[in-house]
Amino acid sequence: MRSTRSFVTVAATVAGFMAIALLGTSCSTQSVASVTSAGGEPVDYIARDYVIDRIAQRGEIFDGVWPETSIDDLLPNREFAIDGATPEPLADGIVVGTVTAVDQGRGYAVEGDDAPGGIEVAFDDPRSVWRVVVLTITTDTRLGDVDARTIKVGVVIDGGMDAEKARKGYLSLGRVALVLDEPGFFEFDPSLYSVRQSGNLFGVVTKSGAVQFPGLGSGAASFVGSTDTVADLVAAASEVPVVIDVSTKAGQFARDDR
C-alpha cells in the first residue's frame, strides 16, 4: 500500500452499507433497445439508469476525507509528499474503457453490532448487506501505473440491489472512466483493482467525451473543473510534474503546492 494512501480516512461504515441496502428496487427489468453492448448483449437502458442511480445514491451515503480536491490531483504527474514522505501519486491510475463482463464476487453479512468489516459469505447469501461484483474492463486509455489493456475491478453494490439488473446495467454503461486505487483491497481476490473514494469515482463517458461522476452529486462539476473530458485528462497528464506537500499534523490535509 502506498504511503500516500494510508492516510486516507474513509467514512464508509457498515451503517452506510445497511442504509443503502434499504433503498428501493422497483425499476422494470425489460430491455428496451436493440443496440449491442461491449459484452455482446443488447443494451438495456433501464438497467443502465438503475446502475447510475445507485452509484449516485451511494455517493449521498458514503463520504470521507481525501487529499485530492480535484481530478487533476489524481493524475500520474501530480505527486503528494505527505508528512515528509517520498512524493507519490495518490491514485494507481485512471482508465477509460468499456465493461465487457460482470461476474459475481462475494457477499458480506453483518452479525450483531461488532462487524465493521463484514463477514464474508456467498454472493447470493440472503444475509448479505453488501456484495462485490467483478467487472472486466477493456481499456482504450490508461494513465498511470495501469499497463494491461484488460483489467478486473471490484465494485461494491448493496445487498438489496437486483444482481441481474446490475449485471445488465454495468454492461450497458458504454464507455466508463475509473479512478483506481492499487490492487489488494478485496481479500477474496487481491488482484482486483478498487475504485477510489469508496467507489464514488466511477465515471461514465458521454458521446462527446465528457466524463461524469454521478457518485459526487452536486460536487462533480467543481471536482472535474475544466478537465472534464477524456481528451482533457490525457492532455493534463502530459504536463510538467507537480509535487504537493501535505501535512496531517492538525488532523486534516493541509496542502502546500510547490
C-alpha distances in Å from residue 215, one per residue of 54, 70, 102, 110, 121 = 9, 14, 20, 24, 27
pLDDT of residue 214: 96
Q: What is the pLDDT of residues 201-226, one digit of tens each?
A: 999 999 999 999 999 999 999 999 99
What gap in Å lies between CA 171 and CA 40, rounded to an integer?
9
- Widest Cα–Cα separation across the chain: 56
Q: Determine the 3-state secondary structure of 64 from DSSP.
A: strand
Instruction: Give CA–CA dist 166/221, Å, rounded.
Output: 26
Cell of 39: 459484452
State the DSSP string of 165-226: HHHHHHHTS-EEEEEEEPS-S-TT-TT-EEETTTTTTEEEE-TT-BEE-GGGGGGHHHHHTT
What was the pLDDT predicted at 65?
79
Q: What is the pLDDT of residue 33?
A: 39
pTM of the entire predicted model: 0.84
Identify the pLDDT of residue 24: 42
CB neighbour class for 96 (10 Å; exposed up to 12, middle 13-18, buried from 19) = buried
Q: What is the pLDDT of residue 112?
A: 64
Mean pLDDT of each 10-residue bin along the chain, 258 residues long: 40 44 40 63 95 87 80 96 93 98 95 68 92 97 96 94 96 97 95 96 97 94 96 97 90 75
